[in-house]
Amino acid sequence: MKYLNPYTILGALGVAALLLILTLLLGFGSPATQAGGINMQLAAITIIPGPTSTPKITATPTYDPAQGTPTPQTGEIALNGYVQITGTKGEGLRLRETPGLSGEHLFLGFDSEIFQVVDGPEEADGYIWWYILAPYDNTRIGWAVSDFLEAVTSP
C-alpha cells in the first residue's frame, strides 16, 4: 500500500483532469466542429447508360457462284456471321459445352452481347443450337439456342 498514498491518488487525478481539459479544448476548437459538427465531403457519381441494341442486318442476299449457294437472307443466322443475344428479359442465356439441355453450363451470356457463329446448326431437345464465340474473349464460347439469338451486322 505504499504506492496508494494520498499524493499518488491526487497526482493521478490531476493528470487525468489535465488530459480531459486539453482534449475538450482541442476537440471543440477544430474546424469540423465549428462548421456544424461533421466534416463531410460530397461524392462524385457517374451514371453509365445501359447497353443498346445493335442494328439489324440490312444487306440483300446475293448469289456466290464459287459456293453455289446464295448468301444468307437478311436476319438469318449463318456460319462466320454475328449474332446478338436477345429476349432473355435480363435473365441471360446459358451457353453450354454440348448442344442440348443436358450439356454442361459454361457461362451466362447477357442481352445485347455480340458473338460470332463458329459452328452449327445442330438440333437437340427440340431446339436449334449454334456454337458461338465472343470476339473479344476466346474463353467465352459455347452452344446457344437460336430462339434467343438475332443475326446482326459485323461489329
pLDDT digits (tens, 9 = 90+) for 95-104: 999 999 999 9
Could you tell me where the beta strands, DSSP code E, fall in the chain? 63-64, 69-70, 82-85, 93-96, 105-109, 114-124, 127-134, 137-145, 149-152
Higher model confidence: residue 91 or residue 4? 91
pLDDT score recorded for residue 25: 82
pLDDT score recorded for residue 1: 61
Q: Which three cell numbers stand for residue 116?
A: 460470332
Q: Which residue ranges make up each domain of the chain?
A: 1-45, 63-152
pLDDT digits (tens, 9 = 90+) for 53-97: 666 655 555 555 565 544 555 568 888 889 999 999 889 999 999
pLDDT digits (tens, 9 = 90+) for 7-53: 888 999 999 999 999 888 877 655 554 555 566 677 778 787 777 76
pLDDT digits (tens, 9 = 90+) for 105-139: 999 999 989 999 999 899 999 999 999 999 988 89
pLDDT score recorded for residue 58: 53
Q: The domain 63-152 is classified under which CATH number: 2.30.30.40, 1.10.4080.10, 1.10.490.20, 3.40.50.1820? A: 2.30.30.40
**What's the CA gap between 5 and 49, in Å, rounded?**
73
pLDDT score recorded for residue 99: 93
Q: ∠46-50-55 over CA atoms, to 5°?
A: 140
Q: Which three cell numbers stand for residue 43?
A: 461524392
Higher model confidence: residue 139 or residue 155? 139
